[in-house]
Amino acid sequence: MPRDLRAHLADIIDACNAILEAVADLDLSEYQSNRLIRSSVEREFIIVGEAIAALARVSPDTFAAITKARRIIDFRNQLTHEYPTVDDAIVWAIVETDVPVLLQESPLITKRANSSKCKPICMTLQYLAFRSGTGNHSPCEHNAVDGTLPKCSHMRIAEDSAY
């Protein structure tokens, strides 16, 4: 069964957070001298690129809403297939400049994707709460009789929030 676009967006958010966590309190020279950190960051970038490539297939409009989406996929391809040519300074620059933009955009894009569907956003919030260890989120109750999806408090918060 194909994954929902929200799952791919959650993967992007999760991978970007992992990248930032891996490089926290490091500078470029410390990054360059630590192969384990470099490998971790590059692996997370590969996940981001794969998730964005999947979005291109399952939701071209969502793909188009992501800044530099095509370049992110190209970067993933370089990391995977042309790894000897990877420049650590370029990776570091992407960490510093592009990851924050992607982290800012992804929740907004997720919000748009969820605008009329309560249950998927609750499932995404539950997944993110589990992955981040920040708490628990229980899915909302949905009306199984007539199939309606009443808005839960999270949808109301998301609609009122500017992120």
In DSSP notation, 67-116 reads TTHHHHHHHHHHHHH-GGG--HHHHHHHHHHHHHHHHHHHHHHHHHHTTT
Residue 108 and residue 55 in one domain: yes
Specify the higher pLDDT residue, 8 or 138: 8
In a shared domain, residues 143 and 95:
no
The answer, as to whether pTM is greater than 0.75, is no
pLDDT, tens digit (0-9, with 9 covering 90-100), for 15-33: 999 999 999 999 999 999 9
- pLDDT tens by residue, 97-153: 999 999 999 888 888 777 645 444 444 454 455 455 554 444 444 333 333 334 444
- Same domain? For 46 and 107 the reply is yes
Are 86 and 139 in the same domain?
no
| Domain span holding position 127 | 114-163
Q: How would you class 24 by CB atoms within 10 Å of its CB: exposed for 0-12, middle for 13-18, buried for 19 or more?
A: exposed
Q: What is the pLDDT of residue 146?
A: 37
37-93: pLDDT as tens digits: 999 999 999 999 999 999 999 999 999 999 999 999 999 999 999 999 999 999 999
d(CA 36, CA 63): 31
Please indicate, yes or no, whether residues 142 and 82 belong to a single structural domain of this protein: no
